[in-house]
Every structure is written in C-alpha cells, then in structure tokens.
Amino acid sequence: MRRIHDLDEAALALGLFAGQKVADAMALVPDLHLADAEPEADDRALAALVDWCVRFSPAVAPAPPDGLFLDISGVDHLWGDEPGLMQDFGHRLKTNGLGVRLAIADTPGAAWALARFGPDEVIASPGEQARALAPLPPESLRLDPADTAQIRRLGIHRLDQIMDLPRAPLTRRFGIGVLTRLDQALGRSREALTYRRPPSPWFARLALAEPVSTLSDLERITTDVTARLCARLETSGQGARRFELTFHRVDGRPESLSLGLAAAARDPVRIARLFHPRLETIDPGFGIEVVTLRGEAVETITGRQIGLEAGRTHAPEDGLVPLLDRLTNRLGPERVWRSTPVDSHVPERSVRPGPVLSRTATRSWDPLQPRPLRLFRSPEPVEGVIALTPDDPPRQFRWRGQVHRVRHAEGPERIGEEWWRGPIETVSVSHVRDYYRLEDEAGARFWIFRAGLYDPAVAARWWMHGLFS
C-alpha cells in the first residue's frame, strides 16, 4: 500500500495530508502529480544544506529527516542581533526556493518544537522556554508516535498540562523518555548534538591481525601506515604539514603523537623517521591493534625538477627543511626560531620569534639606533651610580659586584611606555626609561637605563639591560 510521504503547499490547500493512502488522495484529486520518495536523496540534500549553513555558524547539526540545528552562541552579533540573523538566514533560504520555518530558543528541544508547532520566526527569550512551550501540542516533544497517541488519549493536548503532572507517575506510565525530552526542551538536562564537520580525507588506517607491542613492531607499522598515506598524497599532488599518528590499544585507549613540519611534505621515509625516536613514549599496554595516521593542513606541492647543473645551488627542500623538521620535532617548536622585526620601540618587544622557514626581509630594524648584542630577559640592578648632574650619563657604576669607570657615554635615549597596550590607569611616568650607552676603561660596552623621570625626592633606580659587543 502506498502512502503519501510528503507534499507541497498546493496539495495541503486541497486537504491532503502526509500519511494518507495514495488511493484516497487520487480519489479526491484525480490529476495528482506523484513522485517516488527518495529518503537517501533527502539525506544528501540535508547534508549539503548543513555544509552551506556553515556560513552562519561553525556548529551545524542535521536533525533528520527535515530539520537542522545551528548553534548561534556568540555569532548573532555579526548580524546585529538574533532577529537580524534569523531574517537573513530565512531570506537566503527562501530565495533558494526552500520553504522553512525558523525558531530561536535556549535549547535544541525547544527550538525544534517552536519551529514546527509555534508561530514562524519566533524567538523564545532567554529563560522563557516554559512559557513559550506551554501552548504547544504533545507532538512537539520528539516522542514516538505511539507515546504521543497515548498522551492524547489521556486528554492532554498542551505541554503545560504535562509540566504540571507529578513526575514519578509520569515516568511509571510512559517510561523515562517523556521526562527526558521535556527536561531537554526546558534546559533542565543536557542534550548532545552531533555536529557535522568537514571530513579529513587524508587519513590512513592499518588494522593488525595480532596486537603488537614491541618497539620494533611499532616502528614497522608506523612506516607502513605512513607509506600508505603518502602514496595517496603523491597521486593527488598534495603534501601535509601536520601528521597525527594514533595507536589504538586493545583496551580502547588511544595513544597519539603529532608531528609538525616546516613545509608540506609527503616523503614517507623522512616522515616515518621523524616519528621513530618518539615511539618510545608510547605505552602499548596489552597491545596495539589499529594504527591511524591523519594528515592535516594539506596543500598542493609540486615536484621539483632536478636541474642539469645540480649541485650548484641548493633548494631549501634539499637540506634546510628536513633539518628544521628534525630540530623542531626533537627540541620543540618554541626552541627553533628566526627573529622577526616588530614595529615597536620598546627593545624587548621589537623582536618576535617568527616562522622558521619564511624569510620576511621587507623591513628590518633601524641600524642607526644602536642595540645591544646581548639583551637580558629581565634587567639587572645597577648600584653605586655616580653622575655629575641628575641627567648626565653615569661616571661610575657597580654591576655584578664590579666597579666600572665610564670613559665614553652616549645618551640618553628616552624610550616611553606603549600606553595604548594596557589599561590607561596603569600608565605612569615611572615606566619611562632613559637609556645610556656606556664604555668603561677596559672597553666593555653597556646599555643601562634609569627608570622613571628625575625626581629629587626619590633615589634614581638604574638597571643593566644589555651588553654591546
């Protein structure tokens, strides 16, 4: 027997309904246009719609067969407010020929109910779920049709009637399902949505017939799974900059290692060799039965042609990139860097550890401003400073227990605070530094500063910030 799965607005206007027998419908409307239902195609269309909705929120979950959830926490301000977001969303869908009903509520359950049984484009204000849901029918609870029919048979036609019932008898009669759905709709219990994420196609998996646990076996399966993923990367001309190797143990616990590369690569031998020294940290437990490798940050890399005059110039891929990968993975990424200029006159801020491979020679530090070769992370106190007048460079000072007599001096170079960085209340003249370049009688050159402006009432504090060569 064929029944109507779904129907359009014109058919609804004629009094037909979903679930009706086709024969009955044909009797009412002889020239009814029929098409076979295709649930798989509906699912695919819903998935495509979910992917499209990522422009509104990063977290979108399908609610089959005909709905979807958008988690709009923290994104509605991009459209001004929630009505603005909803208006834009509905307008775009309707322009594309999709009939939609929208609702915004605190919980997925309440939004589901309001979108289907409430007024269109309704927004339940925060904490007002119970009032918004009260007039809705029991079907809005996402229950089995049998449960809904039972509830209706008891003379319950509105949700507020269920809300008023004592909970224990309700559970005894209908099972825990009704209360769970009600609590989820009212925000009294949590509900997990399965958000759709873009899948990573760069994934290789190796299942083992017998669990392995020795180090040499781990090395071998690492090499095998790397070769498998890299072969796929090579056929499509891609390379990955991050790899995540996961060993799935027999007891279900995963053990992961991740690897970052300076440039995208797909050389299986090199990548496996970067993993090998770190396999010792893996605890195999009772054995490892599955190993997976995921490639992330995948980008196109082109094969390099070996020139006829090979050996004259070396491309970075020959030696530099593998070296940097070895170093960053052995020492940690924060221990290998290239100093990059930053537009700041505060000395400790004028350098930033930059990406180790990309060289940005667009601008550099001003060579006319002498800067020390060694800069101390925290300035060291200088004592016994003798100067002719308060603003004169020191004539003599003591640092690390040694007295230095100054022969030549340069300064002051006044470096103020970057007041725009912090709260304005913390800005103070005591953060101004007056730097002097000093050379003592032996020729050693220092960079010392006096903190704050000169104040006859307060003893000046002097600091050693670096050493010139």
Partner 1 sequence: MSGFRDGQMKALRAKISQMESHGRNRAGVMSLGDARLDDCFPGGGLPLGQWHAFTGEGMEAETSACPAAFAALLAAPLTRRGEAVWILRRDDLFAPGLAGLGFPADRLIQVCARDEAEALAVAEDALATVGISAVFIEVDAVDLVAGRRLQLACEARGSTGLVIHRKPWGGASPATGTGSAAASRWRIRPAPSLPPPGEFGLGPPRWQASLDRCRGGRPGTWLFEADHAYSHEAQDGTHPLRLVAPLGAGELVPATPFQRSA
**Positions in the binding site for partner 1 (CB under 8 A):** 314-316, 318-320, 322-324, 326-327, 331, 335-339, 341, 347, 350-351, 356, 359-361, 364-365, 367-377, 400, 402, 407-410, 437, 439, 441-445, 466-469
* Closer Cβ to partner 1, 374 or 421, answer by number: 374
Q: Which of 392, 436, 446 is nearest to 412 (CA)?
A: 436
* Closer Cβ to partner 1, 228 or 270, answer by number: 270
To partner 1, the closest distance from the beta carbon of 440 in angstroms equals 9
* Closer Cβ to partner 1, 108 or 322, answer by number: 322
* Closer Cβ to partner 1, 47 or 409, answer by number: 409
* Closer Cβ to partner 1, 203 or 376, answer by number: 376
Helices (H), 236-309: 268-275
* Closer Cβ to partner 1, 117 or 463, answer by number: 463
Element at 104 (helix H, strand E):
strand 103-104
3-state secondary structure of 113: helix
Residue 46: phi, psi to the nearest 5? Answer: -65, -40
* Closer Cβ to partner 1, 6 or 317, answer by number: 317
Count CB-CB contacts under 10 A for residue 141: 25
To partner 1, the closest distance from the beta carbon of 466 in angstroms equals 6
Report which residue type is found at 360: T
Those residues with Cβ within 8 angstroms of residue 168's Cβ, 6 or more apart along the chain or in another chain: none
How far is the C-alpha of 371 from the C-alpha of 430, rounded, in Å?
22
* Closer Cβ to partner 1, 188 or 405, answer by number: 405
Partnered with residue 354 across adjacent β-strands are 338
To partner 1, the closest distance from the beta carbon of 337 in angstroms equals 6
Element at 297 (helix H, strand E):
strand 288-300
To partner 1, the closest distance from the beta carbon of 222 in angstroms equals 21
Q: Which of 277, 294, 272, 280 is nearest to 213 (CA)?
A: 280
* Closer Cβ to partner 1, 137 or 412, answer by number: 412
Q: For residue 67, what are its two tokens?
A: 């709905």
Element at 411 (helix H, strand E):
strand 402-415
Those residues with Cβ within 8 angstroms of residue 350's Cβ, 6 or more apart along the chain or in another chain: 341, 342, 344, 365, 371
**Would you give the DSSP letter of residue 79?**
G
* Closer Cβ to partner 1, 304 or 400, answer by number: 400
To partner 1, the closest distance from the beta carbon of 376 in angstroms equals 6
* Closer Cβ to partner 1, 247 or 449, answer by number: 449
How far is the C-alpha of 254 from the C-alpha of 82, rounded, in Å?
41
To partner 1, the closest distance from the beta carbon of 395 in angstroms equals 15
Q: 234-249 burial, b if ≥16 CB within 10 A, otherwise e?
A: eeeebbbbebbbbbbb
To partner 1, the closest distance from the beta carbon of 430 in angstroms equals 24
Angle between helix 215-235 and 268-275 (nearest 10):
150
Q: For residue 382, what are its two tokens?
A: 């200088």
Report which residue type is found at 224: D
CA atoms within 13 A on the CB side of 38: 8
To partner 1, the closest distance from the beta carbon of 114 in angstroms equals 58
To partner 1, the closest distance from the beta carbon of 356 in angstroms equals 6
To partner 1, the closest distance from the beta carbon of 257 in angstroms equals 20
To partner 1, the closest distance from the beta carbon of 401 in angstroms equals 10
* Closer Cβ to partner 1, 218 or 324, answer by number: 324
To partner 1, the closest distance from the beta carbon of 129 in angstroms equals 55
Q: Which of 166, 287, 292 is nearest to 222 (CA)?
A: 292
Q: Which of 449, 441, 445 is nearest to 393 (CA)?
A: 449
As a whole number of Å, the CA-based R_g of the chain is 35
Angle between helix 108-117 and 176-186 (nearest 10):
90
